[in-house]
Structure 1
Amino acid sequence: MSDESEVLTGAEALMRTFVDAGVDVCFMNPGTSEMHFVAALDRVPAMRGVLTLFEGVATGAADGFGRIAGRPAAALLHLGPGLANGLANLHNARRARTPLVTVVGEHATFHQQFDAPLQSDIAALAGPVSGWVRTSSSVVGVGADASAAVEAALTPPGGVATLIVPADLSWSPGAAIGRPPGPRPLLSVDAMSVTGATTALRTTKSALLLGGAALREPGLTAAARIAAATGARLLCETFPARLERGAGLPAVERIAYLPELATQQLAGLDTLVLVGAAEPVTFFGYPDTPSRPAPTGCVTHVLARPGDDAVAALEALADDLGARDPAPVAPAGSLTDPTGALDVTSFAAAIAATLPENAIVVDEANTSGVAVPAATAGAPRHDLLTLTGGAIGQGPPVAVGAAIAGGDRPVLNLQADGSALYTMQAWWTQAREGLNVTTVLLNNRAYAILHHELSKVGAVAGGTRAKAMLTLTDPTPDYVHLARGMGLTAGRARTADDLVKLLRHAYTEPGPHLIEAVL
């Protein structure tokens, strides 16, 4: 905090406002219009600046930080093209409802009339991935704008707030620090929703579908008590933003990604009770496949919307049902080290057998990670962060942000090879920051999911030219050397024994590691 006689530029006032509001990490890929924010780092030492080599890493890292910390990080981006490079992971953050503040530099106000080469409509680019967008109009108001951005990001259900700051406002003196936003309470429980859910659970074949805060221990515990008392099934979103799981916690079944499997999961249900989750839909429209996997006639009942107090709603429902027995929890698994050939089954067993206590697992393994959820159900407790919006290239940057937010917690990134190539610049940031991230890169030398999608949408498969668009060969990337070139300790596993050995070593040695698992 500055004394009242200190003259602050807009950039300094913005950073001090952020720090006072608890936003003390900024992932950045700045340019000319953001240089005064960079210079302000030396005057605001409480702000931690983290350099990334690509804007999609900055936005993805801010997403990972917000999911673990429960408060926003900032992402500092350069003009419209910089924001455009970060949009895919802002899309994922929006779907995760992650509290995140994006600061985008703009040309100086007097320069905008000349349509310089980097001029663009930044607000139009930001709108589809932001719940709140504002362009600062005066240096006096920059601090207040920064405070409003933080408030918007924290307002339930949370999300991306984008503040656009013209360069002359950032360098001009006369700014003031904004007042920190007050607490934003969750919306209260609706008694009629509780009563309706009680009736549905007692009289119909039902399932609870959990999302958001309901996937943390208090929500899972209340939901498991309800399921045990009523016979309802316990489900969660296909790609949860953050799911607490492992031994000692109630187990919850994720809705399958593939529509035919999701349809089988939901078959026979009369009622789907939504708790902080949206009604499930298929990821894509397919010929002769319904977009809603729930059976025809299945009624959705909303107990708590995203942004409502889902935990309180579940506890009220449990009380209304008289569900007071202790919640059933997943037992500790008898986890043994796999040996022999490395395939999707032995890979999952190796992950489960070596997973440290209190780890954060960032899962972008996609097709090759299909066996991991079942294998790790009885593993030590861990947080699972998944690909919420489906825009690939999330794993490496989300692991950066999760590691910074998690402090000493080990981070494991299960990473498909194709999507790793989108944001592997994150490995450099992991090395620069000395982060304890272990990346297991599953090398099947293909965009494997697209082989399935090619046939699923009814396209004629099998031609050599079509297949060439789905493979990662000729040449095959050498991920070990790529990772070493960015400062990681890296090795290659060709057997299950190799993978177990390399994982145990990575968890005991500080700093980032990459293990290429050749499937």
Structure 2
Amino acid sequence: MNGAQSLIQTLVDSGVDVCFTNPGTSEMHFVAALDEVPGMRCVLCLFEGVVSGAALGYAAMRGSPAATLLHLGPGLGNAVANLHNAKKAHLPVVNIVGDHATYHLEYDAPLTSDIAGIAAPVSHWVHRSASSSAIAGDAAEAVREAGNSRIATLILPADVSWGDNPDGPAQPLSASLPVAAPAARIDAAARLLGNGKRTVILAGGRELSAQQGELLGRIAAVSGARLMSETFTARVRRGAGSVRIDKLPYLAEFAIEELKSVEQLILVGCPAPVSFFAYPGVPSLLAPDGCEVFSLAGPEEDVESTLQALVMQLGAADAEPERYPLQRGTPPSGALDANSVAQALACHLPEDAIVVDEGITSGMACYPATATAPAHDWLSEAGGSIGYGLPVAVGAAIACPQRKVICLEGDGSAMYTVQSLWTMAREQLDIVVVLFNNRKYSILELEFARTGARGGRPGPKAASVLDLGAPDLDFTALAQGMGVPASVAETAEAFSEQLRDALAAPGPHLIDARIPALELG
């Protein structure tokens, strides 16, 4: 058994049986080992940003890591944006990064690079395997280090991969389990909730599950606290029957207004809220001056057990939370815009769907519109690096093949990882892509105005770099060219019908929703 074979067998034995990959020469022995070692599903992606984004989506839905296989430093560099998103979301990934043979490094061949240096900002653990006999143990350690919330990067020199490993695969290692917040912190939270001050409980981080929502709802019912989720929680269980939890607005001015009268802010699974960017005259911290900010549980602690203990402390076990009712609404008619897309989504969303949200400005209406739709999971990009939606949909669909995935995608951000469509077609993934096509970087037009640059009004040169026209992007041709059936919707009725039909059919489909650009005052 060579090093690559022992590596793959160790990964499979450790529960990592999906690998998203874009390999090169240094990884060919790993590729060859796929035919020798059973149990590993390898998914080819045509760009490394798709590889890392798919691993993110898989981890979000499974709660455990997939592997990535990347080609040297440049391949890892291409994957960094979505590894950044995964790290900010506290999601686990095991990166296997091929490198030159150990004896070849001294010659500084064209692809020689500082892989460890590239990996460090987007990894919690980075290790270079020194020998073929060590690689299996290193792989087991990488899986343990990834756990359920971390990124581990293992560098695999080519000669370590092809060399003989007489010891074979390594035994899986047990990862450390998250623990609940200490009793003193739970006691302190109970005192805050009982002092009569205006209080918001802000929850988020890696996941806001149905059970966490139930516990938060009981706490709110007996304490009078308002429940809110942070703007970009990686995964939220929501919809009809779920506990009412308001989402903190993205725009800093709106978030500040929502929180202006809050005297106490209790954090569950997330940090204190800050403005996404700095703006002239706008505070970076969103909580008002004088507000007491208290962290009950961090993102790597056992949030559910912590909330269970707080429920018991407050005597809230039998309290009944405020819930969202089931209200589907009616199909939209008339002009197609962001609001009618949201209305159609709320009307047709299937039970237990997975919604991946990178709709940017055009998708903002979809979240509130679907609060009373059938229960579903909503995935958001915690790290803010675009090119998230399409590959995350790939990973989510592979993690949960029995569930429908809907990807809300902006036209500008789609072009960062548009190669995802090919993988959707190749794997016949059950994904409907709603492509908001307004032919602009509307979010950047909005941000241009909010930063006050040039008085908030771009001149002709500035406007040209925020515009996606001349030529217009033909997303139906792009999708069909990569094997994904596609259609164009220019009215609300057409979009609603196309969405209904796409959700009823298996396999991937893209709807090019032609909507007007955001109107700036």
Range class of TM-score, shorter chain: over 0.9
* CA distance in structure 2 between the partners assigned to 1:124 and 1:254 by the alignment: 37
1:288 aligns with one of 281, 289, 303: 281
C-alpha displacement of 1:116:
0.4
| Aligned partner of residue 156 in structure 2, secondary structure | strand
C-alpha displacement of 1:329:
1.5
| Aligned partner of residue 299 in structure 2, secondary structure | coil
2:392 aligns with one of 378, 393, 398: 398
1:476 aligns with one of 472, 475, 496: 472
Q: Which is further off, 329-338 or 319-328? A: 319-328
Which residue does the alignment assign to 2:407?
413
* CA distance in structure 2 between the partners assigned to 1:189 and 1:469 by the alignment: 48
C-alpha displacement of 1:296:
0.4
Residues 213 and 219 in structure 1, CA contact (< 8 A), matched pair in contact too? no
| Aligned partner of residue 409 in structure 1, secondary structure | coil
C-alpha displacement of 1:369:
1.1
C-alpha displacement of 1:62:
0.4
1:134-166 alpha-carbon deviations (Å, 9 max, x no partner): 0001111100100111001106xx121100010
| Aligned partner of residue 274 in structure 2, secondary structure | coil
Spell out the pairing of 1:118-517 with structure 2 (5 A cutoff). 118-154=111-147, 158-174=149-165, 176-203=168-195, 204-212=197-205, 215-323=208-316, 324-460=318-454, 461-517=457-513
Distance 1:33 1:439, change over 3 A: same
* CA distance in structure 2 between the partners assigned to 1:228 and 1:344 by the alignment: 34
| Aligned partner of residue 67 in structure 2, secondary structure | strand
Amino acid at match of 1:357: E
| Aligned partner of residue 215 in structure 1, secondary structure | coil
C-alpha displacement of 1:210:
0.7
Residues 448 and 458 in structure 2, CA contact (< 8 A), matched pair in contact too? no
* CA distance in structure 2 between the partners assigned to 1:229 and 1:416 by the alignment: 41
Amino acid at match of 2:469: T
Which residue does the alignment assign to 1:43?
36
Which residue does the alignment assign to 1:14?
7
* CA distance in structure 1 between the partners assigned to 2:52 and 2:89 by the alignment: 13
Residues 276 and 308 in structure 1, CA contact (< 8 A), matched pair in contact too? yes
| Aligned partner of residue 424 in structure 1, secondary structure | coil
1:298-356 alpha-carbon deviations (Å, 9 max, x no partner): 11111111111111111111111122312222100142111111112111000110111
C-alpha displacement of 1:455:
2.0
C-alpha displacement of 1:393:
0.4
Q: Which is further off, 504-513 or 104-113? A: 504-513
Which residue does the alignment assign to 2:518?
none
| Aligned partner of residue 472 in structure 1, secondary structure | coil
Residues 214 and 220 in structure 1, CA contact (< 8 A), matched pair in contact too? no
Amino acid at match of 1:485: G
| Aligned partner of residue 139 in structure 1, secondary structure | coil
Give the TM-score normalised by structure 2: 0.96
Residues 90 and 206 in structure 2, CA contact (< 8 A), matched pair in contact too? no
* CA distance in structure 1 between the partners assigned to 2:403 and 2:37 by the alignment: 27
C-alpha displacement of 1:438:
0.3
Amino acid at match of 2:399: A
| Aligned partner of residue 143 in structure 1, secondary structure | helix
1:217-267 alpha-carbon deviations (Å, 9 max, x no partner): 111000011111111110111111100000011121121111001101111
Distance 1:214 1:404, change over 3 A: closer
Residues 6 and 165 in structure 2, CA contact (< 8 A), matched pair in contact too? no
Q: Structure 1: which 5+ residue stretches go unaligned?
A: 1-7
Residues 213 and 311 in structure 1, CA contact (< 8 A), matched pair in contact too? no
1:61-101 alpha-carbon deviations (Å, 9 max, x no partner): 00000100111100100000000000000000001111110
Residues 214 and 310 in structure 1, CA contact (< 8 A), matched pair in contact too? no
Amino acid at match of 2:284: S
* CA distance in structure 2 between the partners assigned to 1:132 and 1:498 by the alignment: 49
| Aligned partner of residue 320 in structure 1, secondary structure | helix
1:119-141 alpha-carbon deviations (Å, 9 max, x no partner): 00000000000011000011111
Amino acid at match of 1:313: T
Residues 358 and 383 in structure 1, CA contact (< 8 A), matched pair in contact too? yes
Residues 207 and 233 in structure 2, CA contact (< 8 A), matched pair in contact too? no
Amino acid at match of 2:471: P
Which residue does the alignment assign to 1:5?
none
Which residue does the alignment assign to 2:59?
66
Q: Which is further off, 184-193 or 396-405? A: 184-193
Distance 1:214 1:9, change over 3 A: closer
Residues 207 and 235 in structure 2, CA contact (< 8 A), matched pair in contact too? no
* CA distance in structure 2 between the partners assigned to 1:242 and 1:38 by the alignment: 32
| Aligned partner of residue 453 in structure 2, secondary structure | coil
1:82 matched to 2:78? The reply is: no
Residues 214 and 311 in structure 1, CA contact (< 8 A), matched pair in contact too? no
Residues 27 and 73 in structure 1, CA contact (< 8 A), matched pair in contact too? yes
Stretches (4+) displaced over 2 A = none
* CA distance in structure 2 between the partners assigned to 1:506 and 1:15 by the alignment: 37
Number of equivalent positions: 510
Residues 344 and 496 in structure 2, CA contact (< 8 A), matched pair in contact too? yes
C-alpha displacement of 1:386:
0.6
Amino acid at match of 1:173: D
Residues 359 and 382 in structure 1, CA contact (< 8 A), matched pair in contact too? yes
1:104 matched to 2:104? The reply is: no
* CA distance in structure 2 between the partners assigned to 1:132 and 1:373 by the alignment: 35
| Aligned partner of residue 274 in structure 1, secondary structure | strand
Residues 214 and 275 in structure 1, CA contact (< 8 A), matched pair in contact too? no
Amino acid at match of 1:365: G
Q: Which is further off, 504-513 or 439-448? A: 504-513
| Aligned partner of residue 74 in structure 2, secondary structure | helix
1:32 aligns with one of 19, 22, 25: 25
Residues 401 and 430 in structure 2, CA contact (< 8 A), matched pair in contact too? no
